[in-house]
Structures are given as structure tokens and as C-alpha cells.
Amino acid sequence: MVAVTDSEALRRSSLKYLWMHNRDWTQMAEDGEPRIMVGGDGVRVTDSDGKTWIDVNGGYNSVNVGYGRTEIADAAYEQMVKLPYFPQGTTTAPTVMFAEKLAQITPGSLERTWPVSGGSEANETALKIARSYHKRRGETGRYKVISRRGSYHGMTGGVLWLGGAGRAVREDFEPAYPGMVYAPQPLPYRCELGGASASECAIRCAQAIEDLILFHGPKTVAAVVAEPVSAASAAAVPGDEYWPMLRDICDRYGVLLIADEVICGFGRTGKMFAVEHWDVTPDIMTVAKGVISSYLPLAATVVSREVADAFAGEDNIFRQALTFGGHPVSAAAALKNIEIIENEGLVQNSEDVGAYFLDQLTELKEDHAMIGDVCGIGLLLGMELVSDRATKSYFPDEMKLGDRLTEKFHQEGLILRCAGQTISIGPPLGITRDDVDQIVAGLDKAIGEVESEIGV
């Protein structure tokens, strides 16, 4: 067994045995990677070589309360010592209290929780609930699900086919899951339907969803699923008309509205849940990441009273069992995590520091011609890079802009990746203005150096 203090031995062992997320071990070997992280505090982490970094995305936009919160570790330990799991057909106090807490803080009549292990499972469960709900109402033909190009909802077998992830992501796993229908993303900077403003784009994109429902036939459509703010589309914030229109459209045609709050939830956008920006209550909401700040695996599918009631009665049971769904240790940790978010005012800090961060990025745009757009809300922010602002043209792939910038960010002590030609930012919610200034200074230097190298 490799000693945890032997950095190079750990790296070699990783390259031999570990299959990491979306990474090629041969390339990592050439680059001296992966970095082995051994500690963290707030927005910063320390690697096995003793170097400290700012984690600009807080894991996967997910370490909402920041690193080093021993209170969460203590809550998990206490529950693990008391009762680490539960006998079949029973539950535990932390799991019940977790479900009750979600019912208290989620909007409207969202009140019944199906706990799972991660965001992909939460969205898979939402799709299954939506389809089986309609069957219980005698509408067996409702199986189609409308999602939006450019969105991301997970990587398991069903939800992989939601949204507009590129073919390269999905071609290994064809054939496609049946019933997937795609709508435009309400992305003001690049409105697919030609909207000249955020409002016009929002209205046109919402109307496009109604048009799809009518084209396919309302009796064939089970649900519309959407992120309130799409992190996969550089934190594009839709115009204010969009979500109220979606709610109205779904109501008129008997279609369930699923809000994917996996990234947006638990303070990320400056509200506890992003749909609260538009006073909309979905029929189903999925949560993960910030619900436990990634301290342990946990997610949930939260369902409205009206939808859940269709599953009451022995003959109507929603038939799904997941071994780690409702795990008491994760539930105890999540309760402590939510307590920290509430008691320390992290939602308000997300709104306040997020606004400051957005202002700083907007100023950065004025200094760098390759930044075409800056957008976001709270601490879910993004930038899109262009070779020409007038035409909004992308840089050629052979330029490997993303790899260049990612390496420059690392040189500035920032753990931040440029994916394609977009940069997504989602740090822990306790970030300070001083932290923001340090991040923006690093971005400024890194982007400036790349611009000089490529002649922008």
C-alpha cells in the first residue's frame, strides 16, 4: 500500500489503477498529473506537494459551505457510531428529519422526498416518477421528455440523453433513450431563435416548448426538464418571462415541470433555490451537490403533494430501491450542512459577493478582447471566449485555447478549467471579496498572456 505522504508514489499508483473523470491517464502522465489533494480550508485546498490552490469551482460547483467543516464530519461520525445503516423496510431519524427539512425549505407544495446518491440518480428518478405518474392517471401514451439543447442533467443511461451535450459525449452509448425531444436554450448572448434581448429570447424559447408539445401531441409528453440557470451554457440567466411561461404552458397541457436544481440549489444563485427568482414552483425538483456540499454522496428528488398522492395505496407503489438511498450518515451530514448555510448567511453572501464578482468579471471583459460575454447570478458565473466580438466567432479547435488557458490558470494557483471556449465559475459560498480579487487578478494575467501568445 502506498504511503499517503509519498506524493510521487501516489501519482504513479493513480496512473496505474485509477480511472478518473474525463481524463486520459497517458496525457496525465506526460503532464506530471494528477495532482493529489490532501487538505482544504474554505475556498483553498492543499496538494501532496504542499502547494495551496484556490478551488474556483468548489469541486463540481458543489462544495457550497467550503472545505474543512469539521462540524459536518462530526455529525457523520456520531451517526455512524450510533447506527451506520438500517434494516430493510425501516428508516432512521436523520433520514426522516432530512425529508422534513426539505419540505420546509423548498417552494410551494414540494414536500415528499425520494433520497438517492447523486444528481444523475435524482434526475433518473424524476423521469421515472413523471412517466409512472401519467400511467397512474390513465395517460399511458405520455412518455416524451422535453429538455433544452446545451443543458446537462447527468451521465447515467437515461439522463445522458437529456439536453444538448455534444455527440462525442454520447456516441459510445447509442442507441438513444426513447422519447427525448430538444428545445432551444434561452441563452441571450447566442439566442438560437434570434431574440435581440433577454426578454425576447426568453419568450421565443418558451413558446418553442409549447410548439413542440403541440407538434408531438400533448398526450405524448410527460415532462419538461430544465435547469433554472444552465451552468453548462456558461451560467446563462434566462429573461424573467421564461420560467413563468414554462409553468403556464405545462399547466395548460398537463405536462409535469421538472426543475433541475442540482447545481443551482442551496444558495448557489443567491436564493436557496433558483426557481425562487421567478416565484415558480415545479412539480418535481432535483437536488444534489450543495445539499451536502459533497461531503458525502447524497441527492434527492422532491415531489409535489399533488404528484406524490398518485402513488398512495398498495397498488400504486413507486417501485424503485437503491441501496444507498436515504443513508442515515449522509442524511445527518446534510442536516448539519443546511444548518451551516442558514446560520452563516451563505445564501445572502452568495448574492452579495456574487454581484461583486460579476462586476469584476465585467470590468475584466473591457480589458480583454477575447472575452465575448460575461453572465451569471449569485455565485454561478460564466464567461464565453470569442475570436471576434462582432461575429461571436469561436477560436479554431487546433489552437487548443482551453488547454492553454487551463495551464495558465494553474500557474496562477487557480484550479479552474476552460472547457472548450467557456469558463464556468462556482466557488464555495463563503468566498470573500479579497478572494474574488485574487481570482480576478489571476484570470487577468492568464488571459492576457494567452492573448499575447495568439496575437489577439
Residue 200: pLDDT band by 50, 70, 90 thresholds?
Answer: very high
Those residues whose C-beta lies under 8 Å from the C-beta of residue 101, and which sit 6 or more positions away, are 335, 338
Please say whether the beta carbons of 211 and 183 come within 8 A. no
Indicate whether 384 and 335 sit together in one domain. no
Instruction: Please indicate, yes or no, whether residues 322 and 368 belong to a single structural domain of this protein.
Output: no
Look at residue 315 in the predicted model and tell me its pLDDT: 86
Please say if the pLDDT value at position 88 is more than 80: yes
* Claim: this prediction has a pTM higher than 0.85: yes
pLDDT in tens, 349-372: 999 999 999 999 999 999 999 999
**In the predicted structure, residue 341 carries a pLDDT above the cut 90:** yes
Cα separation of 188 and 193, whole Å?
10
CA distance 12 to 93: 43
What is the count of structural domains for the chain?
2
For residues 229 and 380, give the distance between their C-alpha atoms in angstroms, rounded to a whole number: 8
Q: How far is it, in rounded angstroms, from Cα 145 to Cα 283?
A: 14
Q: Above 70 in pLDDT, residue 410?
A: yes
328 & 351 share domain: no
Of 177 and 338, which is predicted with more confidence?
338
Of 320, 343, 366, the domain-final residue:
343
pLDDT at 134 over 70: yes
The domain spanning residue 443 has which CATH number?
3.90.1150.10
- Residue ranges making up the domain that contains 433: 35-56+345-454
pLDDT at residue 157, as a whole number: 87
Binned at pLDDT 50, 70 and 90, residue 166 comes out as: low
Examine the fold and report which residue of 343, 369, 397 is the final residue of a domain before the chain moves on.
343
Does 64 fall in a domain?
Answer: no
- DSSP strand pairing (110-116 vs 144-148): unpaired
Start-to-end C-alpha separation, the chain: 49
Among the residue ranges 4-18, 140-154, 314-328, the one predicted with the least confidence is 4-18
Band (pLDDT 50/70/90 cuts) for residue 282 is very high
Is the pLDDT at 246 greater than 60, yes or no? yes
